[in-house]
């Protein structure tokens, strides 16, 4: 059922350090999504690597995306080989994601994957839309991150597809750590009839 779609969100170490936990949760909550799992932890490198390689083509895809972004801005990418660019990003991500505590969460609701990505904004904060979390609270860029040989600091991870979400949730949570419950407001958002409001 689409109204029960789940997605994984991680507030990355920079998001926690910027004191944005409440702000980020507020934005997902107010749109009508439901928090069904949450924990704070300092991830290990192998857990981070495992997370980003759940999809075997992620390394190549991330490399292609980065190269394309350079070209669109008329800048020269560090390499023309997507695998090479992707591997470097993965290595840097492991350092970034293990540098401090993160908040790992599962959100549920209609089109949860798509809606959370929309509120979160595009990968590169420099070009993320105004009004998105990444666009409003951070200003990092591919070129700055690559010059300093580090991952882009964009404060949030959010699953990119339904399939990615399913695998990522299983990677970070046991089923027992997630709570199935009903929010009173769901009646207003999802029920076919709005009877029971008027006295």
CA distance 106 to 86: 26
Q: Is the dihedral of CA 105, 108, 112, 113 positive or negative?
A: positive
119 part of the interface to ligand GDP, by CB under 6 A: no
Query: Are residues 33 and 106 in contact, defined by beta-carbon separation less than 8 angstroms?
Result: no
Binding span for ligand GDP by CB under 6 A among 3-11, 20-28, 62-70, 180-188? 62-70
Residue 51 appears among annotated catalytic residues: no
| Binding-site partner at residue 28 among ligand GDP, Mg ion, none, CB < 5 to 8 Å by type | none
Query: Are residues 85 and 152 in contact, defined by beta-carbon separation less than 8 angstroms?
Result: no
Q: At closest approach, how far in Å is the CB of 198 from ligand GDP?
A: 44
Residue 102's DSSP bridge partners are 41
Choose between 58 and 190: whose C-beta lies nearer to ligand GDP: 58
Please report, as residue ranges, which positions from 48 to 77 form the binding site for Mg ion (by CB under 5 A).
none
CA distance 174 to 157: 19
Q: Both tokens of residue 90?
A: 């993965």
CB burial readout 164-195, b (16+ within 10 A) else e? bbbebbeebbeeeeeeeeeeeebeeeeeeeee
| Binding-site partner at residue 93 among Mg ion, ligand GDP, none, CB < 5 to 8 Å by type | ligand GDP
Q: At 71, which helix (H) or strand (E)?
A: helix 58-72
Query: Are residues 106 and 116 in contact, defined by beta-carbon separation less than 8 angstroms?
Result: no
Q: At closest approach, how far in Å is the CB of 187 from ligand GDP?
A: 33
| Residue of the chain from 93, 112, 113, 116 that contacts ligand GDP (CB under 6 A) | 93
- Three-state SS at 102: strand
Q: What would the x/- binding string for ligand GDP be over residues 130 to 169, using CB under 6 A?
A: ------------x--xx----xx-x--x--x---------
Please report, as residue ranges, which positions from 155 to 184 form the binding site for Mg ion (by CB under 5 A).
160
Determine the size of the site formed for ligand GDP (CB under 6 A): 15
What residues line the site for ligand GDP (CB under 6 A)?
62, 65-66, 89, 92-93, 123, 142, 145-146, 151-152, 154, 157, 160
What residues line the site for Mg ion (CB under 5 A)?
160
């Amino acid at each position: 059922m689409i109204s029960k779609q789940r997605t994984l969100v991680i507030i990355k170490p920079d998001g926690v350090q910027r004191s944005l936990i409440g702000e980020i949760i507020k934005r997902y909550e107010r749109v009508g999504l439901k928090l069904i799992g949450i924990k704070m932890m300092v991830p290990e490198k192998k857990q981070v690597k495992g997370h980003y390689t759940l999809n075997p083509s992620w390394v190549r895809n991330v490399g292609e995306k980065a190269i394309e972004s350079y070209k669109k801005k008329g800048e020269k990418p560090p390499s023309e080989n997507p695998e090479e660019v992707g591997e470097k990003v993965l290595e840097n991500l492991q350092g970034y994601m293990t540098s401090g505590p993160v908040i790992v969460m599962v959100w549920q609701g209609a089109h949860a994957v798509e809606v959370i990505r929309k509120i979160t904004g595009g990968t590169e904060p420099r070009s993320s839309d105004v009004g998105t979390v990444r666009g409003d609270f951070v200003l990092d860029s591919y070129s700055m991150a690559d010059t300093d040989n580090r991952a882009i600091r964009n404060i949030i991870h959010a699953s990119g597809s339904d399939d990615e979400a399913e695998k990522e949730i299983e990677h970070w949570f046991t089923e027992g750590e997630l709570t199935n419950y009903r929010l009173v407001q769901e009646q207003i958002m999802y029920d076919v009839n709005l009877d029971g409001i008027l006295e």
